[in-house]
Structure 1
Amino acid sequence: MPEGHTLHRLAGALDDAFAGGVPEVSSPQGRFADGAALLDGSRLERAWAHGKLLFVDFAGERTLHVHLGLIGKWFVLPVDPPGSEPPAVGEVRLRLLDEEHVADLRGPMACVVVDQEEVARLVSRQGPDPLQPDQDPDAAYRKISRSGKTIAELLMDQSVVAGVGNIYRCEVLWRHRLHPLRPGRSLKRSSWQLVWDDLVHLMPWGVRTGSIITLDDVLEDVRERITAGETVVVPREFAVYKRNGEPCLRCGATVRHKVVAGRNLFWCGNCQRRT
């Protein structure tokens, strides 16, 4: 399932392509025909995300709610030549189309038109999103500090903190030497603030580059290259994620593995000790 930075990046692409315009809205597959008819001919005001939920606001207080789930894909592409209508390839649930861009949605877990009350209800069920301004990390900590679940489980619980997926979970706990299997109620408020601030620092780079960056040397190199105006290809390098049995980059101890909350968890057996 895409992590939160992917949804924020997609929202930005939809905004750049369609915000302020009146794209054609259709359902080539037919499964969203009624919803498409409600939106077609309406001004698209903005696209935005909270955690792993994507919203597209249209005039008339109608909002398209999309959850990509495990297999959903939504790509925004240029129309070539401009003004043409590209053929729909595969099971396209929803299509947005104007003279210059097309966005075909395939395989989402949710694709539905909702009102503002439902938008508020959906967002209220989520925890604070590190990629949204003015979020309250204490709202997440109140749940963490009362829970006997592991911090690894809690970080993947979207009702605790929104948008964090498995890679960020593994890496940010390593960065702050926190054992992933310690219960949430044992986590100090100051430690949670470090984790939250780090997510706020790292995740926007995922939005900007389309890649998860968690190693400081990689981040510094990417920052310098972007500043220099270079095209950047971000290496897929991590401290512990998918490095089971390999040496920790910090202390050289063995990286360990366990399935937690249905996902593969990785951590250092030495510098992330329970104590």
Structure 2
Amino acid sequence: MPEGHSVHRITRQFARNFVGKPVTVSSPQGRFAQGAAQISGHIMTDAKSVGKQMFLEFDNGLWLRVHLGMYGAWDFAGDIIMDATIASANGRMGQTNQRGTILDVVPADATADAAGDGEGDERIFDRAGENSMHSIGAPRRTRVRMAEQEKETGAFDTFPPEPVGQVRVRLLTDAVSADLRGPTACEVLRPDEVDAVIAKLGPDPLLDGSQEAEDRFVGVVRRKPTPIGLLLMDQAVVAGIGNVYRAELLFRARIDPHAPGKSLSDEVVRHLWRDWGHLLRIGVETGQMMTMDDLDHDDYVRAMANRADRHWVYKREGLPCRVCGTHITLEEMGARKLYWCPYCQK
């Protein structure tokens, strides 16, 4: 399931390519024809996300709400303008691109120097597919899939391209199309209905890094007897965390996933909130769930190119802990796989 950083990145692409433009909306598969007719022909006026949910506003006051769920993905095609604000938190670009089985590290040019210093930035072409798009700035006629994994699939001859597969909804401007497949939720809402959906969600540190948002998260966690490993996955407690970030956040804080929320100190829970904000920003900037800090150049390049080198415990069951050597444990919690170190997190 796409986690919060992916949905924020998708929202940025809508903001760059659709907001301010009239949009033709259709439902090639037919299941969303009625909803599409309500917003087709109207100008998109806003694009925002909260946690794993995205909301697109139109000038008739209606919103398109999308939750990708386990299988949803957006496919963009056309003269796509990439989000020029994406630059990694540690000064490297972290721009990556799926190119078969080739791994290449090249200097970024001046136009890609979003960090601003023109030195030391690099693009890393990732063979795993969990990555961001490799260039930014000028429009490029191409196809890009955005979900938990982002993948560029090359150029095409005609625009708009023919819909491929079961496309629930297509959004189309004169230059860019966006096709949605397999979402858990896709519906047109009034403003009050959008407010009601958002009111049920926990705070999202990328949208609200205030003390009030932090206090809200801390207050909920410290009142609950529920294991913290379940609380972090509860979107009513905190928005955007999924299976990868849950495992990594708990390891980074050395917290037993089974510990009741109310058993944790105020300081520990506040650290979780701040670390989630830190990792979320890195994920949005690089397109990858990079959860290991303070890597040297070679380790950074290796981690950006291979998911197995950028996580502490996720998908490392049976392997030795990177800190203590104890084998990482895999179990089920909340119907999802949980990875943790029984020694470091005891």
Same fold (TM over 0.5): yes
**TM-score of the superposition, structure 2-length normalised?**
0.73
Q: Is the 8 A contact 1:82 1:99 kept in 2?
A: no
For 1:228, the equivalent position in structure 2 comes to none
For 2:208, the equivalent position in structure 1 comes to 133
- Which residue identity lines up with residue 335 of structure 2 in the other structure? G
1:235 pairs with 2:306:
yes
For 1:12-68, what per-residue CA distance to the aligned partner results, in whole angstroms no more than 9, with x for missing partners? 111111111012111111111111111111110121100111100111211001111
Unaligned runs of 5+ in 2: 80-140, 142-155
Q: How far 1:83 sits from its partner (Å)?
A: 7.8
Q: Is the 8 A contact 1:83 1:100 kept in 2?
A: no
For 1:187-237, what per-residue CA distance to the aligned partner results, in whole angstroms no more than 9, with x for missing partners? 11110111111111111111122210000145x659x98xxxxxx954313
1-structure distance, mates of 2:263, 2:305: 36
* 2:343 match: secondary structure: coil
For 2:237, the equivalent position in structure 1 comes to 160
1:203 pairs with 2:280:
yes
Q: 1:185 to 1:151 in 2, by over 3 A?
A: same
For 2:323, the equivalent position in structure 1 comes to 250
Where in structure 2 are the equivalents of 1:161-176 lying within 5 Å? 161-176=238-253
* 2:22 match: secondary structure: coil
For 2:36, the equivalent position in structure 1 comes to 36
Q: Is the 8 A contact 1:64 1:112 kept in 2?
A: yes
Where in structure 2 are the equivalents of 1:41-56 lying within 5 Å? 41-56=41-56
2-structure distance, mates of 1:221, 1:155: 32
Where in structure 2 are the equivalents of 1:189-200 lying within 5 Å? 189-200=266-277
Unaligned runs of 5+ in 1: 226-231
Q: 1:117 to 1:16 in 2, by over 3 A?
A: same
For 2:23, the equivalent position in structure 1 comes to 23
For 1:110, the equivalent position in structure 2 comes to 185
2-structure distance, mates of 1:30, 1:12: 27
Q: Is the 8 A contact 1:14 1:76 kept in 2?
A: no
* 1:112 match: secondary structure: strand
2-structure distance, mates of 1:192, 1:82: 52
2-structure distance, mates of 1:253, 1:193: 28
Where in structure 2 are the equivalents of 1:94-109 lying within 5 Å? 94-109=169-184
* 2:42 match: secondary structure: coil
Where in structure 2 are the equivalents of 1:77-96 lying within 5 Å? 77-78=77-78, 80=141, 84-96=159-171
Could you tell me the percent identity over the aligned residues? 42
**Cα RMSD, aligned residues only:** 2.1
Equivalences, count: 266
